[in-house]
Structure formats: C-alpha cells, structure tokens
Amino acid sequence: MKPKFKGKHFITLEDWKKDEIETLLDVSQDLKQAFLTNKDTNFLKNKSAFLMFFEQSTRTRNSMEAGLAQLGGHANFLDTATMQISHGETGKDTAVILSSYGHGIACRNCFWEVGNKFISEMAAHASVPVMNLQCDLYHPFQGLADLMTIREVKGKTDNLKVSIIWAYATSHKKPISVPLTQSLLFPRFGMDVVLAHPKGYEMPDWVIEKAKKNAKENGGSFTVTNDMEAAYKDADIVIPKNWGSWASNTSDDVIDAVLEANRHWKCTEAMMALTNPDCNYMHALPADRGNEVEDSVIDGPQSIVYQEAENRLHTAKAVMAMTMGNK
Ligand code: CP
C-alpha cells in the first residue's frame, strides 16, 4: 500500500484532507506528551532537512531545528542571502541538489507574488517533501499549531465564534498568510469565523469564496465585516493581528494614510469586555505591543499566546515525522 504521508509536500493545508490534518494533530499531541515525559522520539534518526530562510524568524526556525534534533535528525539552517540563489540560481536547481543531500526541504519566502511560486517550483522538482515555513499566501505550520491550541483549550473546535481581527502595527508590512490560512482552515473544523478589518485590508476574493465553501461543506460559517466591535462581541476566541494591504496595494511602504487612519484597531481591555467571559486571546507572535494589543491583554489571564507558540514545536515535529519518515 502506498504510504499516505511519506513524501507529501506541506505547502498549504488546503492540500491536506481533514482526516489527514486530524492525524497530524493526534501525532502532535503524542509528541508533546513524549517531550514532557522525556521519552525517546528518534523517528528521523540520521535524516537531514534543509531550512531556507529569506526572512527573519524566531519560532519557525527554532521549532524546526530543535524539533528535528529531538526526532534524532539534523537541520541545516540556510540564510538564502548566503546561497547561490542570491546570484540567481533557480528554485528547480536548488531543490534537485538539496534533495540529493537529505530527506526534506523547508523554506520561508514571503515576498508578495513570489514566495508561493518559488516554494511550489521547488516542490515540482524535489524528490523529498517540501515544507512551507511561510510564504506570501500560507503559513500552514502556524495554522496547525493554532488548531491544536484551540482544541486543547476549548476541548472542541465546532460552534465557537472565532474572530480574526486586523490590528494596527508599524513594525513591518506583514504578509497576509496567517489570517488567510486561518480563514480557510478554521471553517473546515466547524468554527463560526468572523474576519474583521478596515477598508483597504481585504483578503483576495478567491480566499473569501473558498472560506465560505469550506464553511458550507463542514458546518461552520464565515462572515466578513468592517465593524471591529461586532467581531469582539460574544467571541469565544479573538485573534487581533496586523496584516498588510497587499491585495490592494503592493507597495513595500510600512506606514501610509490608510494605516494611520486605523490606529484605533487595537485589542484593548475595553474590546475584550465585549467578548464571552471565557474568551481567549491568540496571536501568532511577534506582537507589536502597544499598537496591536495592550500589555494587560497579551499578558493577562485570557491570553494563550505562549501555549500557541509552544505548540509550534510539537506540530513541526509531527509534520516532519510524518512526511520525512518511513510510513
Ligand atoms: N509566528 C511565526 O511564524 O513566528 P516567527 O516569524 O518568529 O517564525
């Protein structure tokens, strides 16, 4: 029988069936338990993966590097500025060569209208699984860790009002890949998802159509609003986070008039007071403290951001073990 997971690319969770995602969540939970009880998990003994980064990272890089070591393998960190890619070597040639040296290739490339194409080009030519460490469109490792965290904290995923809310930030013009991934993924698990943003921060039309289709097929719902307070009202989970206006404005400029007109889109104690009393605050991190969120919220009792970040380790290990392993 053909192995179900070995060699499968992990570029978007849209390519993974619901039962396959459930398996990844179960394996993540098992690996979390094994980590906490110091059990051996040498499922990838003598195996190597290459981690290519076009951008900065704390969680993604370290969850993959530490995770692969804990699985008995080795991760090669590659700053793409020091690779021949920076002299124009193609994704195809890079993928063919790295495939011959190891067992997995992972890449972060968030450049708008470039990143997903580059990672997909590598996947088309690699003979090992290619893992997306975040591109301009998707952040599947983040989506999986978010799903695991919601399931752990709430004990279920269906019939939850989960609000993905744009927030003001000035640190850099962030990709849309985190809210896009959540918008497509969460309705598949029965959540009632509200996507809230000011005018100018729309998701591409195909994302809205696909999110609604995913909701209809799986008993969830997906609505879009420009009303911030409506998104907070009676929410079970809020995910206020900045993203850039990439779908309507491809400029790299971080600060512009549209951004500045929306400084009030901040997660405050007053906004949290509109939610259900047991509502949780989530954020993929890094957070732009003071702009996206008040310290008293992100450091407060409703925040589950550190559990969410910790679960990046266990989900990274599950994806590597399942796609680079033997079964
Ligand atoms: N959430 C996330 O991807 O964090 P890093 O950018 O630090 O990897």
Pair 300, 171 in one domain: yes
CA atoms of 9 and 130, how far apart (whole Å): 5
Q: Is the CB of 65 under 6 A from ligand 1?
A: no
Which domain CATH number covers 176? 3.40.50.1370
Task: Pick the atom of ligand 1 nearest to 133's CA.
Answer: 3
Question: Is there a single domain that holds both residue 88 and residue 126?
Answer: yes
| pTM > 0.85 | yes
pLDDT along the chain (327 residues), means of 10: 84 98 98 98 97 98 98 98 98 98 98 98 98 98 99 97 98 96 98 98 98 97 98 98 95 93 98 98 98 98 98 98 86
The answer to whether the beta carbons of residues 219 and 213 sit under 8 Å apart is no
Instruction: Report whether 292 contacts 172 (CB < 8 A).
Output: no
- Whole domain around residue 296: which residue ranges? 141-308
pLDDT of residue 1: 54
- In terms of Cα–Cα distance, which of 275, 241, 271 is closest to 161? 275
Position 2 scores a pLDDT of: 59
Mark whether 132 and 145 lie in a shared domain.
no
- 142 in ligand 1 pocket by Cβ < 6 Å? yes
The verdict on 135 and 147 lying in the same domain is no
Residues 133, 204 within the same domain = no
Shared domain check, 163 and 276: yes
Number of separate domains in the chain: 2
Other C-beta atoms lying within 10 Å of the C-beta of residue 40: 9
311 ligand 1 Cβ < 6 A:
no
**Which ligand 1 atom sits closest to the C-alpha of 63?**
8
- What tokens appear for 259 in the block? 């951004």
State which ligand 1 atom lies nearest to the alpha carbon of 61: 8
